[in-house]
């Protein structure tokens, strides 16, 4: 990846991809291991003010809302937000925004993101985590779930690249998909001053982790 303009263009393609696939975007509820993923959230018990970044079609939002006093859910895709809003109650505030430019007005007790961190370019990793830190109230907690799945046909720029290509809506989109190994991620987070308190569970190739700054 080159300059900021290239990165911005790539991130815009990523949003365009998710807007194009929003209608058919998968529901983990139907996937093997789904109950184990849900159990990660149950065990974490995200109480208080909860922020969900890149909420997508709202697979996680009801699980968060079960524990939370209130949930703020952010996504760049209006199509994803519409799907999410159809499945959760009024205690959720929906925000259409670009995670890389958005800043909340208040702070949160929990920040959650599902299958999102791998879509954050390495160049924006530190900035993203600084934003997350800025969103947390004292004693706040972070939980995220992710995978490192990249199909061979997506690796148009080679396995070493974190840029992949996916087809949707009759076109090809570039996306970021960083294939982290858990220990590598823990080191990167430690370098930013975060401590990974616990890798909560592994279900298939998905990993739930809990980090606290």
Ligand X SMILES: C[S@@+](CC[C@H](N)C(=O)[O-])C[C@H]1O[C@@H](n2cnc3c(N)ncnc32)[C@H](O)[C@@H]1O
Based on CB atoms, which residue is closest to ligand X, 141 or 177?
177
Number of neighbouring beta carbons within 10 Å of residue 131 = 18
Element (H, E) at 139: strand 136-147
Based on CB atoms, which residue is closest to ligand X, 44 or 116?
116
Q: Residue 177 CB, nearest distance to ligand X (Å)?
A: 9
Taking alpha carbons only, the member of 136, 146, 139, 130 closest to residue 185 is 146
Based on CB atoms, which residue is closest to ligand X, 81 or 136?
81
Q: Residue 180 CB, nearest distance to ligand X (Å)?
A: 14
Task: Please name every residue paired with 212 in a beta bridge, in sequence order, or none if there are none.
Answer: 195
Based on CB atoms, which residue is closest to ligand X, 100 or 199?
100
Structural tokens at position 174: 């570039």
Residues in the chain: 213
Q: Residue 99 CB, nearest distance to ligand X (Å)?
A: 4
Q: Residue 2 CB, nearest distance to ligand X (Å)?
A: 19
Based on CB atoms, which residue is closest to ligand X, 101 or 106?
101
Task: Please name every residue paired with 112 in a beta bridge, in sequence order, or none if there are none.
Answer: 52, 143
Taking alpha carbons only, the member of 79, 76, 75, 116 closest to residue 92 is 75
User: Which residue number is nearest to ligand X in terms of Cβ?
Assistant: 56
Based on CB atoms, which residue is closest to ligand X, 7 or 155?
7
Q: Residue 84 CB, nearest distance to ligand X (Å)?
A: 9
Q: What is the 3-state secondary structure (H, E, C) of 63-104?
A: HHHCCEEEEEEEECCHHHHHHHHCCCCCCEEEEECCCCCCCC
Structural tokens at position 204: 């298939």
Binding region for ligand X (CB under 6 A)? 11, 14-15, 18, 54-56, 59-60, 75-77, 80, 98-100, 114-116, 119
């Amino acid at each position: 990846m080159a300059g900021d303009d290239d990165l911005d263009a790539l991130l815009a393609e990523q949003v365009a991809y998710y807007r194009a696939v929003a209608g058919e975007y998968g529901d983990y509820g139907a996937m093997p291991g789904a109950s184990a993923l849900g159990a990660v959230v149950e065990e974490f018990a995200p109480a208080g003010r909860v922020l969900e970044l890149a909420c997508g079609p709202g697979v996680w939002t009801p699980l968060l809302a079960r524990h939370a006093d209130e949930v703020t859910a952010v996504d760049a895709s209006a199509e994803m937000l519409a799907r999410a809003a159809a499945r959760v109650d009024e205690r959720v505030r929906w925000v259409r925004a670009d995670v890389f430019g958005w800043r909340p007005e208040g702070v949160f007790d929990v920040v959650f993101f599902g299958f999102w961190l791998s879509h954050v370019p390495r160049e924006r990793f530190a900035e993203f985590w600084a934003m997350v830190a800025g969103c947390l109230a004292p004693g706040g907690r972070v939980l995220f779930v992710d995978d490192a799945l990249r199909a061979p046909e997506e690796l148009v720029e080679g396995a070493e690249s974190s840029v992949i290509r996916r087809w949707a809506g009759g076109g090809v989109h570039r996306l970021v998909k960083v294939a982290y190994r858990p220990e590598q991620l823990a080191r990167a987070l430690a370098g930013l001053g975060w401590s990974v308190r616990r890798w909560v569970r592994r279900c298939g190739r998905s990993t739930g982790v809990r980090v606290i700054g």
